[in-house]
Chains A and B, each alone.
Chain A
Amino acid sequence: MDMEKNKTSLMKVFMNYSVPLLFMVICLIGVYASKLNAVYILNEISVRLSRNLFMVLALIIPVIAGMGLNFAIVIGAMAGQIGLITVKIFDIGGFPGFLMAVLFATPFALLFGYGTGLILNKTKGKEMITSLMLGYFANGLYQLVFLTFMGTIIPVDNPEIILSGGVGLKNALDLKLIQYAVDNLFRPNIMGVKVPVVTLLLVAALCFVIKFLVKTKLGQDFRALGQDINIAEVSGIKTDRIRLIAITISTVLAAWGQVIFLQNIGTLNTYNSHEQVGMFAIAALLVGGASVTKATISEAIVGTLLFHTLFIVSPFAGKNLFGDAQIGEYFRSFIAYGVIAVSLVLHAWQKYMNARNREKLE
């Protein structure tokens, strides 16, 4: 009897961590096949963790509040880019430039987050598809503003960033002026690995903020909503307001995350940089073992680590195994979208099974 129990609980642990475990195995195989040296991989990991983790963490609060995976962080990323574009126009460089970008981005993010929240409150239960579509819709508006308003309604006369016709932003903006503004503040070389300490500290700070938030009254309300919005409502929790707060926080964090991301990259692909942000951040979170209804900080960290390790090694592994780096490239796209699809299907299936079990119980 006890043996049986042990067995099932071991199975349970295995089931609970099946996704990260699977990816760990794939990563190890990839690392081995890529034949890269450890220092190179560690360097890449430290860079990627510091620049991507912030965005992944931005997803956690909406999940806790029962709103699912917030595909609309794309909109937050756009706010971040607005901040960066402003900094570029005013030509403010270095760490002050970074701070100014964050400062300019925040009011836009607050506004966008609030708007997203209002719409999601009208589409309860379908938050994920709505936020995904909202992202696409916002992309259209973004293009409208930066492709046709720049140089016409918004008077900007700077040949370095405006297209040669005088209207619209260029495809790629050089952000050299604030590149590594945070990363290089303090970047000691530890056994060949250059660690962007300040950026990682920012990420760590966010982790603590989220941890703190969850333990407050507001966090308790988030969790209550995540469990059952009707009961939360009956208990007198102002559910619509709490949902607005959750999505606004997420959007603002996404804006900041995008600024951190691009200060590392150093180039803004005006019309593309934000596009894949949502998908990749969500895929990373899911790889860590999170689901549509449950996400923790450690899942975000583990997920980002595994997902990006895969990113680092897969082109090399592809080249070594198949003689073509492109195959590795395909593989990682496949992983990114595949993991989202599988996770959503699993979620739907679980929901279905739960409903069925409940029916049986009754």
Chain B
Amino acid sequence: MEENYVLKLKNVSKEYFGNKVLKEVNLNVKAGEIHALVGENGAGKSTLMNILFGMPVIHNTGGYTGEIIFEGKKAEIMTPNNALALGIGMVHQEFMLLPGFTITENIKLNREITKQNAISRILGDSLKSLDIEAMRKDSQAALKKLGMNIDDWVPIAGLPVGYMQFVEIAREIDKKNIKLLVFDEPTAVLAESEAEKLLDTMRNLSANGIAILFITHRLDEVLAVADSITIMRDGEQVSEMKRKDATLAKIAQIMVGRKIERVVHEARKYENNGEIVMSIRNLSVDMPGEIVKSIDMEIRKGEILGIGGLAGQGKIGIANGIMGLYKAYGEVYIGNTRLELNNPRKAIESGLAFVSEYRRGVGLLLDTSIEMNIVISSMQIQNRFLKGLFGLKMISLKDDRKIREWAMKMIKDLDIRCTGPDQLARRLSGGNQQKVCIARALTLEPEILFVSEPTRGIDIGAKKLVLDLLVKLNKELGMTIVMTSSELGELRSISDRIAIVYDGKLEGILAPTDSDVDFGLMMAGEYRSKEVV
């Protein structure tokens, strides 16, 4: 067992406000190996990385328990600078590059090589001159190591995306003491050939003795480069294996496999019957980070349709596109009438309502009372909750009495825990804020309710309440619900059918009772290739 481990995490746990997000995780990375870390969104990968980098978000919320052992010594990583000093580097998923700076300036950002001048001797180091020549030399060396043949003195703006990724890597390997390099979904934004090149680079780096922690959800890449694989699920490390023991199906199954609790009702078979209330044809949506590329789908009356998939694959974009929040193309029919896209007002008037995934931004008027939050859309679009001034219809005022009555009813029906209808939405807990959002959507009396990430950022107890509420609405009012969620478990617990989106396209539709392997493969975009084999 006395192998040469560069990083060992021992029993690392982390709680956010009593909500356990990491449970006794162990992770062992050997020097010079490529170690893949896979798991669904919310499995705890990013929290683990935040701990590894001493991010303030960890230490502002009570720190973590467990041990980090780096190169055989116990390490206290309290700030990102500690991590850097130890020799841990990170290639970010979003590029941390300044567009107006040259490649060299970016590689050397805040690590500029400086030399003394007459003034800096008196007034201190911050007035040292930059040694541009030395900086360029270092950068060129780093770029060369990556096999990049490019002028290092051109600005980042205008470079192809693939190049930017390599500049990021060059910055990390330019740090002389780098021992462990974390790649956070590095291939997500790359074209296939660029991704190939990146994987080659990773192999190269690891051959030079740098350990690589490779976070990804592209399982084929894991199999292509990783030496060992750690799989996380729900904040736990569920498996560690060598590559020779790994297969696509095995990883996929472990990644999503968990006991599925059908909380409420049996999955209803809607396969061939049921009236179609909405058909979507060739829908594309330009939502940054969640692009939808030409999707066809049918929504049946009275069903709960789940839309799942990994982050960034486009599942979020569908509801946002239909509701007109992001530029959408294609055709959407409600019954037989075509919905005018890119017009949120029309969408609501056509009997759609939307509970946004971005609760605190799009979803709520944070500094406004609960009651106004509940009625505002209906007031604006359906002219309800208004009364005329002295009976004049022209000048409409809000009808405080009606608003209060309705808000009280919603607070009671949805069990919103608050001090009263005039409490500010900001002061509510996440779960109760979500209920206010749902209450507003219900006030619109929609035929189809779109709910995105209804349980994101709320604690476990409240999650169940929100899900129960959706089921209740569906059962008692017969409301059609389209729920988008990153949590497959919750989709499988209440949906009738689950559509999985991968790379902006519909990968397939599964029943909640289908096997873990199928779900895992679909989410990784490997489902169709399996069928070929």
Contact = CB atoms under 8 A, between A and B. Distances in A.
A216 B110 contact: no
Interface stretch (B225-233, B285-293, B349-357, B510-518): B285-293
Contact of B126 (A217, A236, A359): A217
> What 9 pairs across the A-B complex have the smallest Cβ distances?
A227-B98, A235-B110, A362-B288, A218-B126, A235-B109, A216-B127, A231-B96, A237-B110, A227-B100
Nearest to A225: B98
Contacts of A220: 105, 112, 130
A160 interface: no
Contacts of A216: 114, 120, 126-130
Nearest to A359: B288
A228 interface: yes
B101 A234 contact: no
17 contacts: A212-B119, A213-B127, A215-B130, A216-B114, A217-B114, A223-B100, A231-B96, A232-B98, A234-B80, A235-B109, A235-B110, A236-B84, A236-B110, A237-B110, A360-B286, A362-B289, A362-B291
A224 interface: yes
A221 interface: yes
B405 interface: no
A359 B286 contact: yes
A150 B125 CA distance: 42
B130 A217 contact: yes
Interface string B457-473: 00000000000000000
B286 A362 contact: yes
A235 B97 CA distance: 10
Nearest to A245: B126
Interface in B83-132: 84, 96-101, 105, 109-110, 112, 114, 119-120, 125-130
B99 A227 contact: yes
A223 B100 CA distance: 9
Contacts of B96: 231, 234-235
B101 A223 contact: yes
Contacts of B120: 216
Interface in A193-250: 212-213, 215-218, 220-221, 223-224, 227-228, 231-232, 234-237
B81 interface: yes
Nearest to A235: B110
A362 B285 CA distance: 11
Contacts of A234: 80, 96
B129 A215 contact: yes
Interface residues of A, number: 22
B112 A228 contact: no
Nearest to A234: B96
Given A220-B130, A227-B98, A359-B327, 6 more contacts: A215-B129, A216-B130, A217-B126, A224-B101, A231-B109, A236-B84
Interface string A319-362: 00000000000000000000000000000000000000011101
Contacts of A217: 112, 114, 125-130
Contacts of A362: 286, 288-289, 291
B337 to A, nearest CB: 29
A227 B98 CA distance: 6
Nearest to A231: B96
Most buried by B among A218, A234, A235: A235
A362 to B, nearest CB: 4
Contacts of B327: 359
Contacts of B105: 220
Nearest to B108: A220
Contact of A231 (B84, B97, B114, B289): B97
A209 to B, nearest CB: 9
A18 B288 CA distance: 34
Given A220-B105, A224-B110, A236 B80 contact: yes
A231 B106 CA distance: 10
Interface string B125-155: 1111110000000000000000000000000
A235 B96 CA distance: 8
A213 to B, nearest CB: 8
A295 to B, nearest CB: 14
B177 to A, nearest CB: 15
A232 B101 CA distance: 12
Contacts of A235: 96, 109-110
Nearest to B110: A235
Contacts of A360: 286
Interface in B239-298: 286, 288-289, 291
Contacts of B112: 217, 220
Contacts of B80: 234, 236
A359 B96 CA distance: 18
Contacts of B288: 358-359, 362
B98 A231 contact: yes
Contacts of A359: 286, 288, 327
Nearest to B126: A218
Contacts of B127: 213, 216-218
Contacts of B99: 227-228
B104 to A, nearest CB: 11
